[in-house]
Amino acid sequence: MKRLVRFYGSRELVLIGNDFFSEGGAWRSIYRYFRQEEADGRSVMLIDRRKQHTFRQMLAAACFSPRILVNGLGPFSRWEGVLTCLLRKDILIYLHDTAYMVKRYAKRHPWKFRFFRMIMRRNPVLCVSEQMRDYYCKEFGAAQIHVVHEAVALPATPDFEPAFRHIVMVGSVEERKGVKLLSEVAEMAATRALPWRFHWVGALASQSLGPLSPNVRWWGWQDAPHEFVKGADIFFLSSVDDPLPLACLEAMALGKRCVVYRNTGIAELLAGIRGCSVYEDYSAAAAFSAINEALAARPDSPALARIIEEKASVGSLVSRIRQIAEIKI
């Protein structure tokens, strides 16, 4: 119990939502907010209610977290979402929902909607426009309502200086993804005064990594990481294990040099391709040599395009699964 109190009590804000990474857009603004707060060093937590075992997380947050924000109508489709907000009058409700969506919710969940009305009258409500504020005030008598709008994130344009060779890794910043290895390779390049610049695009996944190397530019989470891959001279997969990383496939599709470890699934596709290197030993020295080797050769873009078409295109995946699915057992 003490551990739960300490963990959730230390969170400045817990975000609860139902539709993260779905096709709709109602999750995107709050997710961008979450990532920015995280990048600024704030202690925030996200609970995606579509995942298993999140009921206990939500209950613990309701009991111990100083501030909670519920995103959209989705969480109110379950009784635990309704009851959580009934328990605390300080929970923020961030709505993106029009009259049409509210009426549909009321029709599908008439009993929950009665309690939702009480919550809207009492709790602080965040909304996306003056029009929606007027609607929520009129429909629910919302007393505490604030227009905060939505947020868009234009793709970052990496300022890759042409005088340098730019080496990019895309993935969450964690031990398994090779934070230490890439940092050591960057240190070796800096010691030799090589014109190499190292970049890592991805969110910090663990606070226990300690200080990150100053020889790497840590870009944090980005909406469009392919913009960084597009400007890279090398995609360097520093992971100690990775089944078939999409970011590396995207680099191949762009005709980029790729350097990967032997024990990753992507290695079997890249072995023997000019301009790409597979390092056998998971060490900074081996990875450094592989990068040198790749930079010395022009990438075989037609060969990379052929691999993508045959092995990693949407059409090839559809064809393989259809073929297997139609086999009579």
pLDDT tens profile 182-213: 999 999 999 999 999 999 999 888 767 888 99
CB count within 10 Å of CB 157 equals 10
Question: What are the backbone angles phi and psi of residue 231, rounded to the nearest 5°?
Answer: -90, 0
Q: Report the distance separating Cα 125 and Cα 253, nearest Å.
A: 45
CB count within 10 Å of CB 101 equals 14
CB count within 10 Å of CB 190 equals 16
Q: Report the distance separating Cα 286 and Cα 185, nearest Å.
A: 9
The single-letter code of the amino acid at 319 is S
Q: Are 278 and 260 a contacting pair, CB within 8 Å?
A: yes
Q: Is 176 exposed, middle or buried (0-12, 13-18, 19+ CB in 10 A)?
A: middle
Low-confidence ranges of the chain (pLDDT < 70): 207, 328-329
Model-wide pTM > 0.95: no
pLDDT reported for residue 329:
52
